[in-house]
Structure 1
Amino acid sequence: MSRHFEEAPGLYDAHDEATHAYVFNQTMLRIKDPEATLDFYTRVLGMTLVKKLPFPEMKFTLFFLAALTPEQLKDWSADADTRLVETFSRPAMLELTYNWGSEHDDQVNYHNGNDEPKGFGHIGFAVPNLDEACERFEALGVRFVKRPQDGKMNDIAFIQDPDGYWIEIFEPKRLPAGLSKHLGS
């Protein structure tokens, strides 16, 4: 029996036990203005800053954010060293990298990966109700790339953070019906 749920060229079927404890920990985005970007991710998307690592000699700071409920916050340590280990052990962290002074440099502009040449595309957030989330984003003045009613795929939205990175917003239970009309199988 295959360890994969689907088939695709290039899949490696054997599982190396050496990888059992591997954790996909983070996606890193470079940011220009930490004040604007941290406000966006903590206020608009509800993330929590769990660790801040300034590197004065190299003039940059790393911010690690997690999507945590208030109840989940109780599971995190107040001790800085313990929380550092927790930060690098947890799945699905967002790492924001700020190079000091970039907010004052008009030459600094990060590529979102959706303009040419294409590369990185987006990160994604599951929400319990897509329509309500989009109404909230609209009221907060969030920039939309695509609203649910736009285009052919009506069960997803794309918003942008202050640096122009795309964030897919979707309601998991709406995906099967919404995607079935587009799937070739």
Structure 2
Amino acid sequence: MTFTTESHPGVRAEMPAATRGFVLNHSMLRVKDPAVSLAFYTGVLGMRVLRKLDFPEMKFSLYFLMKDDDAAAPDEAGERTAWTFSQRGILELTHNWGTENDPDFRYHDGNAQPQGFGHICFSVPDLAAAVRWFDNNQVAFVKRPEQGKMKDVAFIKDPDGYWIEIVQPDLLTGLGRS
């Protein structure tokens, strides 16, 4: 038998037929300064920008980023937009124009009180090498892999203070086992 889902209170064992084809496409983070955030996500985490969409009447821009080194996106902008919205694991950075010019402007990171949003996560092939890379790029750590009760998991911060969990999948096989 093939695994479909764990069973917990509230979990529906059968996928509703009407949801076939649904894809979790993207998560969105608001950013104060797109140049700073794009430098971090492309230069430190190796993502690429698939598409930028500007909305002058509402004074904001959207940047869609992906971390899939082999995905071949179409060259034509309209086709690339449609392709972007069909993918999995996209990060949308939303910039409300003018925030970059306000030195006191900050977004809530979701981890300060009252807590809400927590983090996004990147899996890496070598956690120790990733930690060295982050150190070499002066990335702020919330938690290093050797700190705290949960070992082999790191948390870094992006330029807006959002937490990013960093994991090496093969180090986590014992998680949740007593």
Q: Shorter-chain TM-score category? A: over 0.9
Distance 1:110 1:59 in 2: 17
| Greater helix content | 1
Letter in 2 for 1:24: L
- Identify the residue that residue 9 of structure 1 maps to in structure 2: 9
Deviation at 1:107, TM superposition (A): 4.1
CA contact (8 A) 2:31 2:93 kept: yes
Output aligned runs, 1:81-160, within 5 Å. 81-160=78-157
CA contact (8 A) 1:31 1:163 kept: yes
Deviation at 1:129, TM superposition (A): 0.4
CA contact (8 A) 2:7 2:13 kept: no
Distance 1:3 1:171 in 2: 23
Secondary structure (helix, strand or coil) at the match of 2:27 reads strand
Secondary structure (helix, strand or coil) at the match of 1:40 reads helix
CA contact (8 A) 1:3 1:13 kept: no
TM-score (norm 2): 0.95
Secondary structure (helix, strand or coil) at the match of 2:164 reads strand
Runs of 4+ displaced beyond 6 Å: none
Q: Does 1:175 align with 2:175?
A: no
Distance 2:2 2:117 in 1: 29
Deviation at 1:8, TM superposition (A): 1.1
Letter in 2 for 1:29: L
Secondary structure (helix, strand or coil) at the match of 1:131 reads helix
Moved more, 125-134 or 9-18: 9-18
Q: Does 1:23 align with 2:43?
A: no
- Identical columns (%): 49
TM-score (norm 1): 0.91
Q: Structure 2: any 5+ residue segments left out of the alignment?
A: none
